[in-house]
Amino acid sequence: MGPVPRTDRGVHRAPRAQQPRAPRPRSHVRQPSPCSAADHPSPPHPSLTPICRCRPSTLRRSGADREGGGTDAGEYVSRLVRAGTAALGFGVTPVHETVPRSLVEACARHGLPLVEVPPGTPFTAVGRSVWRLMARARTAELRRVTEAQQSLAAAAARPDPVPAVLRRLAAALGGWAGLLPTDPARPPGAAAPDPGPAPAAPAAPSGPSGPSGPSALPGPAPADPGVHAGPLPGPEVLAALAALARRVAPGSAATATAAHGELHLAAHALGDGRALALATPSRAPGDHTVASVAAVLLTLLTRRPAGAQAAALTRLLLGAAPGEAVGPGPWYAVHARGSGDPQALAAALGTVLLDPREDGVRLLTDRDPAPQPGWRLGVSAAAAPDALPGADAQAGRALERAEAARTPMARHTDPGFAGLVGEAEARAHAEALLGPLSPVLRDTLRAWLAHHGSWDRAAAALGVHRNTVRQRVARAAGLLGTDLDDPDTRMELWFALRRSAAPPEAPSG
């Protein structure tokens, strides 16, 4: 069956020797679905008649066929379009010899394809034609999705998989595709390794041109997509895409969609603080399936696999610096105790770097940790790779505070020198060092050190005579066997006195 000829009146005319067929649906028109007769002026239900056949009696009853009846025809066609009708078939004779001009003009105004059904064509023939169109559309959709899946899989096997997948996706959808951060405060890719070198290319202006190669946004922009492909949208579209990306942050929805002018926008969560953002001029059947396949591939490609840690360990053992082996970070050391599975905890924290022990688990992650059910966590401050040993000690002390306070998680908060020693160890050392001193001598020594060795100010603070202070300090030095004129000795005693567990007692005269 050849193409349906079009008359000079804007009507698609089906040849008499053939069964009528509707024109091929455009990208922005709904695909064919079951057809029925429009025997009433009310629009058919959208779930039943996206393609319908209009009988002459319908227009006669609605008054659209009389002279000046364009208003009624316009209202009728408008309701059909709102109901989701994709095309309208008009059967001529016996009421009309030709399609009424008012109906032709109304369909032209609303962009509704109008097909003239030849006389003597049974309605069942129209139905069979529509069903064939539906089967053809389904087959075309399946073929398109299958071909897109194959091309995406081939792109994922290239040396530059992430840019290659984005290029194929942008070509398949006829729009723009890129990676956006779900957290604007974190630069794209901060939680994941560099997906690979992307060839630099100038930003492609928005327009009808085909997909371009990956490139970076020049200068500041509302959203920096980093690696992307396709004609670059304007700043307003990028800002709308950035808002969609925030809606698919971890713990939120997996997908989000919106419309911006004539563009269809979508965001798919990838994990690791990334989202796949799409801007396409239309939404054809199968687009969501193709985008979902690409999102799965990009999720796997942007997450650091266990093999990367094995390679990092190899580099470290062969003499590489920590920063060269595992990346610049920042990194967090985590100490954890609980009854759960350590592997599941590591997966929740986004890492495979863990050291399970009998008394707990130690982990390293480049994500900012959050509390986890069934676990008590101690988290270090963010640290560079060469500062990880200190971060490990911080995480251990933070875990002690979390257990003492019975909280799910504690972070390292003391940046001072005293924070380098755990609370229990510091208190035990203080008791061992200050053991020979009575509480009165401890208070006197603390006041004397706090006033930088001034007898008069220490005596005023304690409410005793200055000679009493001299005697007590001398007595303390003798019991400790130390030289109180040594700055190192004074520093050690000061830290010990601060951590001392002995309650203060009122000094005696």
Which residue is associated with the tokens 């603070």?
A: 461
Closest C-alpha to 40, from 63, 26, 57: 57
Three-class secondary structure of residue 353 per DSSP: strand
Q: Are 89 and 127 in contact (CB under 8 A)?
A: no
To which residue do tokens 């053809």 refer? 136
Q: What is the 3-state secondary structure (H, E, C) of 132-156?
A: HHHHHHHHHHHHHHHHHHHHHHHHH
Higher pLDDT, 157 or 504: 157
For residue 218, name the pLDDT band (cuts at 50, 70, 90).
very low
The first and second tokens of residue 176, run together, are: 């723009």
Least confident of 4-13, 194-203, 329-338, 424-433: 194-203
Report the pLDDT averaged over residues 146-173.
82
C-alpha 455: how far from chain center: 64
Question: Which residues in the chain are classed under CATH 1.10.10.2840?
Answer: 423-499
Binned at pLDDT 50, 70 and 90, residue 82 comes out as confident
Cα(344)–Cα(376) distance, integer angstroms: 14
* pLDDT tier, 252 (very low <50, low <70, confident <90, very high otherwise): low
Which helix (H) or strand (E) covers residue 36, if one does? Answer: strand 36-38
CB contact at 8 A, 279 and 317? no
- Give the Cβ contact number of residue 410 at 10 Å: 21
With beta carbons less than 8 A apart as the criterion, state whether 126 and 37 touch: no
DSSP 8-state code for residue 331: B
360-365 and 263-271 beta bridge pairing: unpaired
DSSP string for 432-462: HHHTTS-HHHHHHHHHHHHTTT-HHHHHHHH
Residue with tokens 């530059």: 160
Reduced to 3 states (helix: H, G, I; strand: E, B; else coil), residue 52 is strand
Q: At a CB cut-off of 8 Å and minimum separation 6, what does 132 contact?
A: 21
The pLDDT, as a whole number, for residue 19 is 39
Which whole number is the average pLDDT over 236-254?
81
Rounded CA-CA distance 327/386 in Å is 11
Number of other CB atoms surrounding residue 1 within 10 Å: 12
Cα atoms in the Cβ-side hemisphere of radius 13 Å centred on 170: 29
Residue-level pLDDT at 185: 61
pLDDT at site 308: 63
Q: Before 46, cis peptide (omega within 30)?
A: no
Superfamily of domain 158-191+223-302: Dynein light chain 2a, cytoplasmic (3.30.450.30)
How is domain 423-499 classified at the CATH fold level? Arc Repressor Mutant, subunit A (1.10.10)
Residue 334 pairs in a beta bridge with: 363, 379
With 0-12 / 13-18 / 19 or more C-beta atoms within 10 angstroms meaning exposed / middle / buried, residue 357 is exposed
Give the residue range(s) of CATH 3.30.450.30 domains in the chain: 158-191+223-302
Assign residue 265 a region (left: φ > 0; alpha: ψ between -120 and 50; beta: otherwise): beta
Point out the least confidently predicted range of 180-194, 280-294, 313-327. Answer: 180-194
Q: Is the dihedral of CA 483, 484, 486, 488 positive or negative?
A: positive
The letter for the amino acid at 200 is A
Is residue 430 predicted with pLDDT exceeding 60? yes
